[in-house]
Chains A and B, each alone.
Chain A
Amino acid sequence: MTSHLPILDIQNLSKFYGAVRAVNDVSMHVNRGEIAGLIGPNGSGKSTFFDCTTGLAQPSAGKVVLDGQDITGWSLNRIAREGRMLRSFQNTVTFKALDVEENLIIAGQMFTFPSLASTFGLGRLSRSRINGLRERARELIKMAGLWDVRHQQAGNLSGGQQKLIQFASMLMPEPKIILLDEPMAGINPKIIERVVETIQYANKSLGVSFLVIEHNIDVVTSICQRVVVLDQGSKLVEGLPQDIIQDQRVREAYLGG
């Protein structure tokens, strides 16, 4: 812990689509080493908030500060590459035609090669970088329990296994913080356990902070240290998970009160 500043600080973020205020003046932060949760009913603006934070969409107003640096307006790839803030997508995505190992190597490439031009190299340096990535990929593959299928095409694996690939891919670049968009959606309980373990391992052993959108309230209460609730584009409440689930306003929001 080099600083007490939050790893991610989002200030007064808004996103308007014409007259629709998808996200309206939301501020929140994620502390170093924390697993924070973001919950809210469908259509409450969680995903839009994620997109604006990670550069997939540009916010209409507000500021995003990552590890002390203002990254508002940066593109998705720059935030990932230079900010080491990685994100997942709601629909599981992998490079389906490539095998598991290649998926992970791609995930690490832009963090190992110092420039775009250097990726065109085929020399000894380039090969040793790739070998380094392959070793790291294999470690993460073992950790994710995908060793037996490492040479299979990602597209041939189950949804849960692809989730794990995606998760392992995000650990390749040694990220500072990972934003997960519904990591547990559509996977069976056994894999849920494994994903939870992986998140906790990354958090404790690798020091990665997390911001997690999740509907599975058991998962939220078991892994998150702090939860922010969005409703209709605005921040409704923020607090400890056990307090949040008792909160009357949160219950009303979910029940469409």
Chain B
Amino acid sequence: MSLTDTAPQARRRDLRIPLAAVLIVVALAAPLIGTRYVTHSLIIALIFMLPAHGLNLLVGYTGLLSLAQAAFFGIGAYTAGLLAVHLNTPFYVNLIAAGLVSGAIALPLGIPALRLRSTSFVMCTLGFVIIGQAISKNWISLTRGDMGLSGIPKPYFELGPLSFAISGTTSFYYLALAVCVIGTLIAWALVRSPAGRNMVAIRENETLAESLGVPTWRYKLIVFMLSAAFAGVGGCLYAHYLTVVSPLTFQMYYSTTMLIIVLGGGAGMISGTVLGSLLFVGLTEALRVAPELRMIAYGFCLLVLVFWFKKGLAPLINRFWNAIGGSK
């Protein structure tokens, strides 16, 4: 894309690669530099990152506002928890199963829900969270009801003769980081693909997209299932990290947190979601040092965001990224 290149100007150095290198080093060294509490906060942020990526595909790219993320997060958490407790399956099996089960359950839920328009769809997805909680409370033979599933083993791997468990907080951080890096790359690939362009077309004008041959209904259903699968994988990390899953996993608060991550970070941008989860989840965890002011401070941050960064932080990231990219 050198079409815009003009006469040579004073060239600045492209700082993007060094910055990326620094970020990678920081991500890898964080648990070694920071306290255990910092590591814990980062793990929570990573757990929320994948469901937020899923939601971003739905809200940011396809233009469908959903509050169902907590439902699929919960389904993933229970799937992983039940497998680990009853069958003692290795971590990667639980991870894949959580994604598949959540994605599969999204199919029968999405078929009727996606027929609804705008606000009705939002209300319907809200219903999924409430129903999920009711089922997890009342299907006692499976979920043990309000007692929840406890004693979920730490994640372990079985690679041929080799078998090892992830026991400490630091090692769990690396596990979550690896899962999130892969998840982020998948999300990035999805939005970069021609299908990603069709998602944006649906967001921008569904009827026009339809008139140009885009099967919008099928795309919406697929993206709904994908977003659920992302949430389910996040739920698996959650179950293994907390070692307990209860009906409280299905709570609206989680759905709204994921929505704040996406909208605050900048809908329709992968890096926005990455930054959003670190900032908003990390922030709530970090603010725990001042418990009496915590929610007030959090609310204040949201107000600042709504008034000054209507499009989230993404435009800011973009500008910064281009600014350090050296002169054109």
Asked if A and B are interacting partners, one says yes
| In the bound complex, CA of A86 to CA of B209 (Å) | 11
| B193–A119 CB distance below 8 A | yes
Contacts of A56 in B (CB 8 A): 207, 211
| In the bound complex, CA of A106 to CA of B214 (Å) | 9
| In the bound complex, CA of A95 to CA of B205 (Å) | 6
Interface string of A95-123 (1 = CB under 8 A from B): 11110001001110111010010011110
List CB contacts (< 8 Å) of A119-173 with chain B. 119-122, 126, 129-130, 169-170, 172-173
* Interface residues of B, dominant DSSP: helix
Contacts of A63 in B (CB 8 A): none
- A74-82, A195-203, A230-238 - the one binding chain B: A74-82
Given contacts A93-B207, A97-B204, contact A110 B214 (CB under 8 A): yes
CB distance from B213 to the nearest CB of A (A): 4
| B197–A109 CB distance below 8 A | yes
CB distance from B186 to the nearest CB of A (A): 11
| B211–A95 CB distance below 8 A | no
Residue of B193, B209, B213, B216 near A120 (CB, 8 A) is B193
Contacts of B190 in A (CB 8 A): 120
Is B174 positioned at the interface, with any CB of A under 8 Å from its CB?
Answer: no
| A89–B207 CB distance below 8 A | yes
| B192–A122 CB distance below 8 A | yes
| B197–A102 CB distance below 8 A | yes
| A77–B213 CB distance below 8 A | yes
Taking A80-B212, A94-B205, A105-B197 as given, write out 5 further A-B residue pairs in contact, using a Cβ cutoff of 8 Å, ordered by the A residue number. Answer: A81-B215, A97-B204, A116-B222, A119-B194, A126-B193
Which residues from chain B sit less than 8 Å from chain A, CB to CB? 189-190, 192-195, 197-198, 200-201, 204-205, 207-216, 218-219, 222
Give the residue name and chain of the A residue nearest to B226 (CB).
A120
Residue of B189, B204, B212, B222 near A98 (CB, 8 A) is B204
Give the residue name and chain of the B residue nearest to A54 (CB).
B211
Is A32 positioned at the interface, with any CB of B under 8 Å from its CB?
Answer: no
| In the bound complex, CA of A167 to CA of B304 (Å) | 43
29 contacts across the A-B interface (CB closer than 8 A) = A54-B211, A56-B207, A56-B211, A77-B211, A77-B212, A77-B216, A80-B212, A86-B211, A86-B212, A87-B211, A94-B208, A95-B205, A95-B208, A96-B204, A97-B200, A106-B197, A106-B198, A110-B213, A110-B214, A111-B213, A116-B222, A119-B194, A119-B195, A120-B195, A121-B193, A122-B189, A130-B194, A169-B212, A173-B212
| B204–A95 CB distance below 8 A | yes
Contacts of B219 in A (CB 8 A): 116
Contacts of B207 in A (CB 8 A): 56, 76, 89, 93
Contacts of B189 in A (CB 8 A): 122
